[in-house]
């Protein structure tokens, strides 16, 4: 399977049911995705429970991302937000979508139009950055690994990236997957290994 096939937009994941792999119980639906905007990784999910509460699931509790559902390792993989520091981390819908991407030299590259998630380990994130409505209409943009980010402003309005960030960017999702993202995945696999503590307990697909 091509690497690009393992990339999915955050919008496509939001609203998916979250099911327990052990019992088949529905634990809720994906409400938002929790990110580390500097490391460029998916940290977890905000899940709206059947009762309406917003709870949190750590990425390590995701057994797999399927075509029709997110499978949790077990029934108690989703926990109250008050019990985890992940509740304080930035989210895609609330914080990152629409943020302006500005280089350290003060150049505006555009706004985050889409956020892509690598569905298998490592859980890397990429931004699709567009400069204008015309770019959106014409399908033009930059695809940048989120790991190039230096900071997210307190008001979540700006993401600061290095001056040379466009060099790590690609003109299409396919180009990103075949170049910068593939290199990052190889580096993560070498440094952290397939047996590291950051891995989910089951294979993702």
3-state secondary structure of 159: strand
Are residues 36 and 19 part of one domain?
yes
Residue at a domain's end among 91, 120, 153 = 91
Domain CATH number, residue 84: 2.30.30.240
Provide the pLDDT for residue 184. 84
Do the domain assignments include residue 199?
Answer: no
* Domain carrying residue 70: 3-91
Of 180, 166, 93, 163, residue with least CA distance to 129: 166
Do the domain assignments include residue 39?
Answer: yes
The model's pTM is 0.85
Are residues 85 and 23 part of one domain?
yes
Residue at a domain's end among 91, 112, 142 = 91
Do the domain assignments include residue 82?
Answer: yes
Of 55, 68, 176, residue with least CA distance to 124: 176
Tens of pLDDT, residue by residue, the chain (205 residues): 467 888 999 999 999 999 999 999 999 999 999 999 989 999 999 999 999 999 999 999 999 999 999 999 999 999 999 999 999 999 999 999 999 999 999 999 999 999 999 998 899 999 999 885 545 555 567 899 999 999 999 999 999 999 999 888 898 889 988 887 888 888 775 444 443 334 444 434 3
Which pair of structure tokens corresponds to residue 165? 């960030």
Cis before 122? omega within 30: yes
Provide the pLDDT for residue 183. 85
3-state secondary structure of 62: strand
């Amino acid at each position: 399977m091509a690497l690009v096939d393992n990339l999915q937009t955050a919008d496509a994941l939001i609203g998916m049911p979250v099911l327990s792999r052990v019992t088949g119980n529905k634990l809720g639906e994906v409400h938002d995705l929790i990110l580390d905007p500097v490391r460029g990784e998916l940290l977890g999910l905000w899940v709206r429970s059947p009762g309406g509460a917003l709870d949190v699931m750590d990425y390590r509790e995701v057994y797999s991302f399927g075509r029709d559902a997110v499978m949790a390792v077990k029934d108690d993989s989703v926990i109250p937000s008050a019990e985890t520091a992940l509740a304080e981390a930035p989210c895609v819908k609330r914080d990152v979508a629409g943020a302006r991407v500005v280089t350290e030299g003060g150049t505006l590259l555009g706004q985050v139009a889409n956020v892509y998630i690598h569905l298998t380990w490592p859980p890397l994130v990429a931004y699709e950055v567009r400069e204008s409505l015309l770019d959106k209409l014409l399908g033009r943009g930059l695809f940048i690994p989120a790991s190039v980010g230096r900071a997210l402003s307190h008001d979540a309005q700006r993401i600061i990236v290095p001056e040379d960030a466009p060099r790590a960017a690609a003109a299409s999702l396919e180009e990103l997957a075949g170049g910068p993202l593939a290199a990052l995945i190889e580096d993560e696999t070498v440094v952290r290994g397939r047996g590291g503590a950051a891995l989910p307990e089951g294979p993702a697909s």
